[in-house]
Chain A
Amino acid sequence: MSQALLKIKNLKTSFRIKDDYYAAVDDVSLTVNKNEVLAIVGESGCGKSALAFSIMGLHNRAKIEGNILFKGKDLANASPTEWSKIRGKEMGMIFQDPLTALNPLMIIGDQIGEAIYLHNKNISKEQRKLKVIDLLEKVGIPHPERVYDQFPHELSGGMRQRVVIATAIANQPELLIADEPTTALDVTIQSQILDLMKQLKEDMDAGIIMITHDLGVVAEMADRVAVMYAGQIVEIADVYTLFENPQHPYTRSLLNSVPNNKEASSKLHVIQGIVPSLQFLPRKGCRFSARIPWIDVSAHEENPQLHEIEPGHFVRCSCYKHFHFPEEEVQ
């Protein structure tokens, strides 16, 4: 039906901490198609941003291994010049915190205009301004002519996020990465931004990677979902399957920690513990095993792999077959 826009194969992104490299993204493979929204969910610190930054080439001191095939071209070790031609033109990114994502000393118009200028130096200043005002209108900013000349501090958080979005879509990118675009906003603004994202999804002919830890956002936006834990994808499936038939213990725990969910029939489940920090991440065995201690060690694989349990539905480690919540144990 659709062709792969982005194909990541065995991506490993490592940071150097005191002479050693530690992988924050470990053996991640995924594809994003045109006109598709892939959601990436997982707790804080599981490597979602590190993955997104690798795709955009935004890490400056990380070791990148594996392949990032974008429209058939491998970007894993592209040069800075190659990157600056792709970034902002073919790929756009929306960041988490709109309050800090804009240059405080530059007017809004110039910040969006810069994205246009960088990839099309032939457009006259007047035309560029018209384009920027168009974009401001498109992302739902009232009085775009006035906002054009304003500084970021004169706008609210929601308005600033709209400006960030306008910057990201200025050159109609084919791939849009949104790294928790609503996390820093309050609830009413969140839903407005989500509505805008949904509308853009309809209008734009782009593949979208939506990073979030909000399952509500996933349900509303995503076509497919990848669940990440400790740098790895533990489960990937289309959104319907994932909500109806979650398999991996981590996915089930996540879904079960949300009220009004099918599996949460009586009690909400709280996932014990936290994502271990990079240096202390277990590198052997099932990385989630420490957080489900009531499951017997023999249930885990020694070297957990992704298994395709039904077409398009992958689960890591065989422990999913033996998983149950602790409160179910009594039965």
Chain B
Amino acid sequence: MFSQTFRSLWRNKLSSFLSSLTTGFALFLLGTSFLVSINLGYMYQMAESQMEIQAYMNKEASDAELAAAVTQIRDMPGVSEVKFVSKEAALEELKDMFKDKASVLDSLEEDSPLPPSVRVNTTGAEQIPVVVEALKSIDVINDVIYQEEVSERLAQIGKAVQYLSLGGMLIVGIVAVMVIANSIRLAIDARRQEIGIMKLVGATDGFVLMPFLLEGVFLGLLGSALGTGFAVGVYNWVAGKIAEFIPFMPIVGLETQSIQEMFGIMALTGVIVGLTGSAFSVRRHLRV
């Protein structure tokens, strides 16, 4: 049965080749949309992780009080990272910023005029308002500073990005499925005489269908390999160009795992569409 499938693929090599190329191209689009969506997610995460809340604390508070507050903050839900900046450290940072104008700050050597603070990162932009409220309720904290508008916008964008990339992948997925199904249909329509002859010679529907199903699976796999290959190649090329011209733009480096995931999605799409597409297309010609 398998050798027959390969022989048939080989003898119909032009149409097999075109079908797998079409499948590959359709899946390439799907893969590209998958990669774009990974990157949008990544960019959003980067932006999110840079959203920092600064909580300024009472200058007079004792070290023990400060330490207790930091522990309390660490345990808050929605908090991912807490960095304590002591009075002295704050002064060092300030000096660092103005190191060419050191003289201005020399007088401050003795006692730091700056309050100690904590810098808090949240697990997501939507957590920021909650965490801010919780911080404000802590005694030793005098003032909480964060980019209110930016964080709200970011939370909105985050949702939009999720929906958009999901919707985009869905649309591209549907288009890919239609393109693949259509190419299979054309390839099988071209062989409807063959199917009719098989039936007239006494083949059962299953017997006629089987090799077409195997071909469908095989073309689906071949197409998804091609599609993954194209997508990874193009992606790496584009990522290289971007890194060259816009060095600060965050781009996800492709790991083996995401390539495998992508191939998985494509192979699944390719094989399912290959199978059902072949089955439906052949069925139309079986009534002889």
A and B assemble together: no
Interface set of A (CB-CB < 8 Å, partner B): none
Binding site for A on B (CB under 8 A): none
